[in-house]
Structure 1
Amino acid sequence: MAAATALCGVVAAAPPGAQAWTAAPAAGRPYAYLEGPAGSVLQDTLSVTNPGARPLTVRLSGRGAPVSFAARTVTVPARTRADVPFAVTVTADLPPGEHRGTVRASAAGREVRVDLRIRVSGPHLAALTVEDVSVDTGTGALRYTLVNRGSTVLAPRLAVRADGLLGTVLDRPERALPLTLRPGERATRTETWPDPPALDSVTVRLTAAAPGAASATARAEASFASGPALTGAAGLLLAAGGGGYAVRRRVGSRTPRASAGATP
């Protein structure tokens, strides 16, 4: 259980002639604030006031957070206020920090939205790893998995470098990735490499970072050997071998001729 305080209630425009009923956190607070550790259930009360001359039936729901009510539908008598308890379940995997949700009440063609501000207590730990790096030597695509090993939401960044036998063949500076990772979440991604080497043995290094987290690096080895490159290399070897054979033949052919012209 935890204490509550609350966020601004947003009231949709009422159609002409609609009852001017209201919904807000108890005690007239402008928004609901709940605080507690992950895995807890936090409680508060929503006050629905019906100033009209007829009973009012109000439907209640929650958005953006697991909200449950003592009753999903409540009928408020004329000129009466009804206090409806509700509870917010803070899931065990919800990271420490501030989170948002909404309680909604609707009746007589109107909807009132009361914002929830939920503060999850606990230590903040930012930890990111990059795992399962592999290289597709046919396309050059780099496949890897990012894992959030900490207790906070992370916005990862990635740098890529590949070194071959004769030097660096890919050097991609660190850049932000279009994703966020919740604690314990994994994301498998592919990094394109449009112009990988045709004939080389390379070491690929992927370095992942996020604010507050130490950088993590993983690597993979790959050997590129395309058909045209192999054909060209084989041609060079044959040309070199053929030239040596011709030289040997020329050297060998001069020896018999010199012997024939010599005096016995």
Structure 2
Amino acid sequence: MPSRTGAALRAAAAVTVAAALLGAPPAPAAAAGPGWSAAPAPGAGTASDAADRPYFYLEGRPGTVLHDKLSVTNKDKRPHTLRLRGEGAEGAWIAFAARTVSVPARTRADVPFTITVPPDAAPGDRSGTLVVTGGGHRTAVRTHLRISGATLSALSVEDVRVVRTGGGGGAAIRYAVVNRGNTELTPRLAVRADGLFGAVLRRDARTLPVQVPPGRRVRLTERWPDAPALDAVDVKLTVTAGGGAHAAASATYTAAPGWLLAASAATALGAAGGGTWLFRRRRRRRRQAQVGGTEPGVVSA
């Protein structure tokens, strides 16, 4: 971060501590938990509440400096000294007014911070967290940063394969979704599988409980508990997301019960053994014939 930005941050945004005591009663000394919490600082000096802002949302163009505050609330009867840092895609872009903050008992401290967007940052979404640690506890507050500019939604589906699971005849479809664009994606998945005699699986598109940041690969598993026990199946996955992102990939899957596989293996082994015995017998006969025809002192009649 440029030195003038850090100097301005320290001069104009020192750590502030709420002067009023918290209205909520302090937690009992024996209560579990760290005794403190962290959340985006609310407006108008009200008490910090995750319902006010459950996460940080900031937006700006490349090269800009964005400002906000993290609120740390101490509900304990004793002070806490806490450490602050940034993690995730824009963790290196985050600078706090102070890396360590001491919060008196039953008091709230608002810690300013900045996110400096690099001039060459690509437009799109970034995700990260502000992490607060102290007393053996860790709390993370999510940040969502949108860099203004033209966005591109693109993805690919890779490494599709079907594997048997357990002894009950079920299977699992394993695959990876890769975000090839510059905006965070929430993928939707549709599954189609066709066997030798027609359709064996149809699942309409549904939203997956995962968000894929730009440039990230996420490995996922689709459970298939009623997969056929005997069939040759073509499985096709279609993944879509906002902004027109669309991709598809396929895999083949041959299902067979264990006893059939064992019988096939035994048959193949027997055929291989028979072929080996016949080959050895023929080779032995050729050797005997060669020895009989070239042995010294033997004359053919």
TM-score range, shorter chain: 0.5 to 0.7
| 1:208 corresponds to 2:239 | yes
| 1:183 corresponds to 2:206 | no
Aligned to 2:60: 35
Distance between the aligned counterparts of 2:112 and 2:163, measured in 1? 57
Whether contact under 8 Å (1:128, 1:213) holds in the other structure is no
Aligned to 2:20: 14
Aligned to 1:169: 200
Whether contact under 8 Å (1:199, 1:229) holds in the other structure is no
Deviation at 1:169, TM superposition (A): 0.7
TM-score, length-scaled by structure 2: 0.47
Whether contact under 8 Å (2:59, 2:148) holds in the other structure is no
- Report the residue type matching 2:60 in the other structure: E
- Report the residue type matching 1:128 in the other structure: L
Q: 1:86 to 1:160 in 2, by over 3 A?
A: closer
Aligned to 2:160: 133
Distance between the aligned counterparts of 1:183 and 1:90, measured in 2? 16
Distance between the aligned counterparts of 1:193 and 1:45, measured in 2? 46
Distance between the aligned counterparts of 2:144 and 2:217, measured in 1? 27
Whether contact under 8 Å (2:155, 2:180) holds in the other structure is yes
Please give the residue correspondences for 1:105-120 in structure 2 after superposition, counting only pairs within 5 Å.
120=147
Deviation at 1:89, TM superposition (A): 2.6
Whether contact under 8 Å (1:93, 1:183) holds in the other structure is no
Higher strand share: 1
Whether contact under 8 Å (1:164, 1:203) holds in the other structure is yes
Aligned to 1:152: 183
Describe the SS at the equivalent of 2:224.
coil
| 1:193 corresponds to 2:224 | yes
Whether contact under 8 Å (1:202, 1:222) holds in the other structure is yes
Distance between the aligned counterparts of 1:210 and 1:157, measured in 2? 6
Instruction: Give 1:96's match in structure 2, choosing from 124, 127, 134.
Output: 124
Q: 1:45 to 1:174 in 2, by over 3 A?
A: closer
Whether contact under 8 Å (1:124, 1:151) holds in the other structure is yes
Unaligned residue ranges in structure 1 (runs of 5+): 3-9, 17-22, 25-31, 47-58, 75-83, 105-115, 234-264
TM-score, length-scaled by structure 1: 0.52
Deviation at 1:214, TM superposition (A): 3.2
Distance between the aligned counterparts of 1:63 and 1:231, measured in 2? 56
- Report the residue type matching 1:15 in the other structure: L
Distance between the aligned counterparts of 1:177 and 1:117, measured in 2? 19
Q: CA RMSD in A?
A: 4.7
List per-residue Cα deviations over 1:40-75 (Å, max 9, x = no partner): 4626699xxxxxxxxxxxx9967786432576689x
Identity %: 45
Whether contact under 8 Å (1:153, 1:180) holds in the other structure is yes
Distance between the aligned counterparts of 2:58 and 2:252, measured in 1? 52
Unaligned residue ranges in structure 2 (runs of 5+): 6-15, 23-40, 43-56, 70-81, 102-110, 133-142, 265-301
Whether contact under 8 Å (1:143, 1:188) holds in the other structure is yes
Distance between the aligned counterparts of 2:67 and 2:226, measured in 1? 59
- Report the residue type matching 2:65 in the other structure: L
Instruction: Give 2:150's match in structure 1, choosing from 117, 123, 127.
Output: 123
Whether contact under 8 Å (2:178, 2:215) holds in the other structure is yes
* Number of aligned residue pairs: 180
Distance between the aligned counterparts of 1:222 and 1:98, measured in 2? 37
Distance between the aligned counterparts of 1:225 and 1:89, measured in 2? 57
